[in-house]
């Protein structure tokens, strides 16, 4: 699972540059195309296989309706619950509408469809669910007998173009056993989730438009607020947490006035990004205009100056259009959009101005997110090509010449996480920063740092059968920290290695192979240099 600020952005940058202007560097362009071709060959056609929950039926009467989940090993699960009306037909590219009521008892054993997407073979949280536009459903796990427990709402990653809440790696039963109610959900992906066009802007008439995926997330949180008490959850104690694009979504929700009061704590895993998002409409050099991207996509689909109805008449296959993590189609897809309503400002700017939700904040990254991957040279080229000569020279003083691969991780993940932590901590908000750098014992001979999304199996407690006692102890530890934070706003508890609160001493928790301990000024000089580079970049 990757962030819109990592592989996807880097390939796009290597192809066309930050603002979509053509690049002339043929080696980088050809390398990107060769990589896409290889991945296309590797992507196997896996038959759709719907996932269901096992166990004995258990009934819950919620405001939304009566649901029959399944109870197994002390945890009760409920899957495939529609939280809004399917965004199909005339509801495509509209704000989510309330889900229709159902009569009698709705079976909640089967997970819903995944949203339309192009899957990749190296997804850390794979899913084989059928796909379709009717995909906006959520899932709930609770301990049997739950009463007013803290709620954790998971937002999956996938670069905003892929991902699923039905992945077995993200099964919420193990986390629920720790004394929380766990919720996960699907949201619209790709152009279904983020799309702007002058015809849609005019139709919206100043109401939220373009960020349909973010509006789905807000609708899911509203559903939780209205219904979660029936499942034993406390609607006043909701923690949103997500990884990669899901972590970026957490920051977007913190910056959105439409999400105020829907959560009380926030966790961002490998998702803090300083790279600017698209604007709804912009002619400013260096800024991406989402409306222009929408017009370009419509033209590529054979529509010149279409109205909203003509856009909605496109087939789902045409809208998806092969968009994927390794083919982000710069110039025709923008990702999240600063629309001025749902998202009034880029999260970096909103946090800097103090306009974010003031809630306890836990943020961090993994030790070797992408620097050890086969496509690291392409990522490095994409990063360095967007820098001024002065900025590149500054980085080379601490990363060497050519820069060490760690620059990839620090530029895309580590320094942005520290930057957001500094902004929240400066206003007295309880803030906790981490680096997860634990590698499974069986993998240490071939890998020297924790890769992107590698923490998820540990966090959710869904390690493979081959996991060692040390692996399982790390899983226990990270699960304890995360659920403690959801319960109290502080990850610490007796018996755990102390996690220092982030402050001017620049302290974080390093979760490594040999120890888990607080550390000050992690990669300090290098991160300081990256911070200077970002400060010099136009926004």
DSSP output for 80-129 = EEE-B----GGGTTS---BPPP--SEEE--B--PBPS----TT-SS----
Alpha carbon distance 87, 376 (integer Å): 37
Residue pair 273/412 in contact (Cβ under 8 Å)? The answer is yes
DSSP annotation of 289: B
State the chain's mean pLDDT as an integer: 92
Residue pair 271/244 in contact (Cβ under 8 Å)? The answer is yes
Alpha carbon distance 422, 416 (integer Å): 10
Q: How far is CA 150 from CA 237, 466, 474, 496, 499, in A?
A: 5, 32, 23, 20, 21
pLDDT range class, residue 439, cuts 50, 70, 90: very high
Model pLDDT for residues 489-523, shown as the tens digit of each residue: 999 999 999 999 999 899 999 999 999 999 999 99
- CATH number, position 132: 3.40.50.1820
Alpha carbon distance 257, 297 (integer Å): 30
Residue pair 419/272 in contact (Cβ under 8 Å)? The answer is yes
Alpha carbon distance 430, 425 (integer Å): 6
Residue 386, pLDDT > 50, answer: yes
The predicted pLDDT at position 416 comes to 98
Alpha carbon distance 184, 186 (integer Å): 7
Question: Considering the chain, what percentage of its residues have pLDDT values greater than 70?
Answer: 91
Alpha carbon distance 1, 310 (integer Å): 33
Model pLDDT for residues 260-280, shown as the tens digit of each residue: 999 999 999 999 999 999 999
The predicted pLDDT at position 478 comes to 98
Alpha carbon distance 153, 263 (integer Å): 9
Residue 404, pLDDT > 60, answer: yes
Residue 67, pLDDT > 60, answer: yes
Residue pair 141/72 in contact (Cβ under 8 Å)? The answer is no
Q: What are 42-48's contacts with CB under 8 Å, separation 24+? A: 42/121, 43/118, 43/119, 43/120, 43/121, 44/121, 46/119, 46/128, 47/128, 48/128, 48/129, 48/130, 48/131
3-state DSSP of 169-237 = HHCCHHHHCCCCEEEEECCCCHHHHECCCHHHHHHHCCCCCCEHHHHHHHHHHHHHHHHHHHHCEEEEE
- For the segment 356-368, the average pLDDT, to the nearest whole number, is 98
Alpha carbon distance 312, 281 (integer Å): 21
The predicted pLDDT at position 46 comes to 60
Max CA distance (Å), the chain: 68
Alpha carbon distance 424, 263 (integer Å): 16
The partner residues of 171 in beta bridges, in order of sequence, read none
CB atoms under 10 Å from CB of 192, counted, come to: 25
- Beta-carbon contacts of residue 21 (< 8 Å; ≥ 6 apart): none
Alpha carbon distance 413, 302 (integer Å): 38
The predicted pLDDT at position 174 comes to 98
Model pLDDT for residues 184-210, shown as the tens digit of each residue: 999 999 999 999 999 999 999 999 999
Alpha carbon distance 184, 165 (integer Å): 6
Of 76, 63, 50, 68, the C-alpha closest to 106 is: 68
Residue 51, pLDDT > 50, answer: yes
With both helix axes pointing from N to C terminus, report the angle between 376-385 and 26-42 in degrees, rounded to the nearest 10.
140
Written as six digits, the tokens of 9 are 């952005």
Question: Considering the chain, what percentage of its residues have pLDDT values greater than 90?
Answer: 88
The structure tokens 């060692």 sit at: 468
Residue 4, pLDDT > 50, answer: no
pLDDT range class, residue 257, cuts 50, 70, 90: very high
- Beta-carbon contacts of residue 319 (< 8 Å; ≥ 6 apart): 92, 116, 190, 191, 192
Catalytic site positions: 244, 369, 452
**Helix-strand-coil percent breakdown of the chain, rounded to 5?**
35, 20, 45
Residue 442, pLDDT > 70, answer: yes
CB atoms under 10 Å from CB of 507, counted, come to: 17
Alpha carbon distance 381, 265 (integer Å): 37
Tell me which of 41 and 532 has the higher pLDDT: 532
Task: Give how many domains the chain has, as a whole number.
Answer: 1
- For the segment 158-172, the average pLDDT, to the nearest whole number, is 98
**Domain that residue 300 falls in:** 1-539
SS3 category, 466: coil
Residue pair 195/93 in contact (Cβ under 8 Å)? The answer is yes
């Amino acid at each position: 699972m990757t962030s819109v600020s990592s592989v996807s952005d880097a390939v796009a940058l290597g192809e066309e540059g930050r603002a979509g202007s053509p690049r002339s560097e043929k080696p980088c362009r050809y390398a990107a195309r060769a990589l896409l071709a290889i991945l296309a060959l590797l992507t196997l056609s896996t038959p759709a296989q719907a996932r269901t929950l096992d166990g004995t039926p258990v009934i819950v009467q919620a405001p939304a309706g009566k649901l029959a989940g399944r109870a197994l090993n002390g945890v009760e699960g409920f899957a495939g619950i529609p939280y809004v009306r399917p965004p199909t037909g005339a509801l495509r590219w509209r704000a989510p509408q309330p889900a229709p009521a159902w009569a009698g008892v709705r079976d909640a054993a089967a997970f819903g469809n995944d949203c339309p997407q192009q899957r990749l073979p190296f997804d850390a949280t794979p899913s084989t669910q059928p796909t379709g536009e009717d995909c906006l459903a959520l899932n709930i796990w609770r301990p049997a007998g739950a009463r007013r427990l803290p709620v954790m709402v998971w937002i999956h990653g996938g670069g905003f173009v892929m991902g699923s809440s039905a992945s077995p790696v993200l099964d919420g039963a193990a986390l629920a056993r720790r004394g929380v109610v766990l919720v996960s959900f699907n949201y619209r992906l790709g152009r279904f989730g983020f799309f702007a066009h002058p015809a849609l802007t005019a139709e919206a008439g100043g109401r939220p438009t373009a960020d349909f995926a973010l509006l789905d997330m807000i609708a899911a949180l509203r559903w939780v607020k209205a219904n979660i008490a029936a499942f034993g959850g406390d609607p006043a104690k909701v923690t949103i947490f997500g990884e990669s694009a899901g972590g970026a979504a957490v920051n977007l929700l913190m910056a959105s006035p439409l999400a105020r009061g829907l959560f009380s704590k926030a966790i961002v895993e490998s998702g803090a990004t300083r790279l600017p998002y698209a604007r709804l409409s912009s002619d400013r050099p260096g800024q991406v205009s989402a409306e222009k991207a929408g017009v370009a996509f419509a033209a590529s689909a054979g529509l010149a100056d279409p109205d909203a109805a003509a856009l909605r008449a496109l087939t789902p296959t045409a809208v998806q259009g092969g968009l994927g993590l390794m083919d982000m189609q710069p110039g025709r897809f923008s990702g999240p959009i600063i629309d001025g309503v749902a998202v009034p400002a880029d999260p970096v700017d909103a946090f800097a101005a103090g306009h974010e939700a003031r809630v306890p904040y836990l943020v961090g990254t993994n030790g070797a997110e992408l620097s050890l991957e086969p496509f690291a040279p392409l990522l490095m080229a994409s990063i360095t090509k967007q820098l001024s000569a002065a900025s590149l020279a500054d980085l080379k003083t601490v990363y060497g010449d050519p820069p060490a691969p760690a620059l990839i991780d620090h530029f895309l993940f580590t320094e942005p996480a520290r930057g957001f932590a500094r902004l929240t901590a400066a206003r007295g908000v309880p803030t906790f920063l981490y680096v997860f750098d634990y590698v499974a014992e069986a993998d240490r001979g071939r890998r020297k740092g924790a890769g992107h999304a590698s923490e998820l199996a540990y966090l959710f407690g869904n390690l493979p059968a081959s996991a060692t006692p040390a692996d399982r102890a790390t899983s226990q530890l990270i699960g304890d920290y995360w659920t403690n934070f959801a319960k109290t706003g502080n990850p610490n508890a007796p018996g755990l290695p102390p996690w220092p609160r982030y402050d001017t001493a620049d302290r974080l928790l390093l979760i490594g192979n040999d120890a888990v301990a607080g550390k000050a000024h992690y990669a300090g000089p290098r991160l300081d240099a990256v911070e200077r580079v970002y400060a010099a970049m136009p926004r």
